[in-house]
């Protein structure tokens, strides 16, 4: 693999958090990342 962000197997991760975030939003962002990249909780 010559480059992490180029080619057929490129890995891109985009995320954003609102400026006026709260604890629930942080929890939801972390859960979404884990669900999409590790697997949903059972």
- The whole-angstrom separation of Cα 1 and Cα 10 is 9
CA distance 33 to 17: 12
Please spell the DSSP secondary structure of 1-42, one letter per residue.
Answer: ---SSSSTT---------TT--HHHHHHHHHHHHHHHT----
**pTM of the predicted model as reported, rounded to 2 decimal places:** 0.50
pLDDT per residue of the chain (42 residues) written in tens, 0 to 9: 456 667 666 666 666 777 899 999 889 888 888 888 776 655
Q: Domain residues of the chain, as ranges?
A: 18-42
For residue 29, the model assigns a pLDDT of 83
Which residues 6+ apart lie within 8 Å of 10 measured at CB? 3, 4
């Amino acid at each position: 693999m010559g480059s992490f962000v180029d080619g057929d197997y490129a890995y891109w991760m985009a995320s954003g958090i609102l400026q006026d975030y709260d604890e629930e939003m942080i929890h939801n962002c972390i859960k979404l990342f884990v669900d999409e990249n590790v697997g949903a909780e059972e």
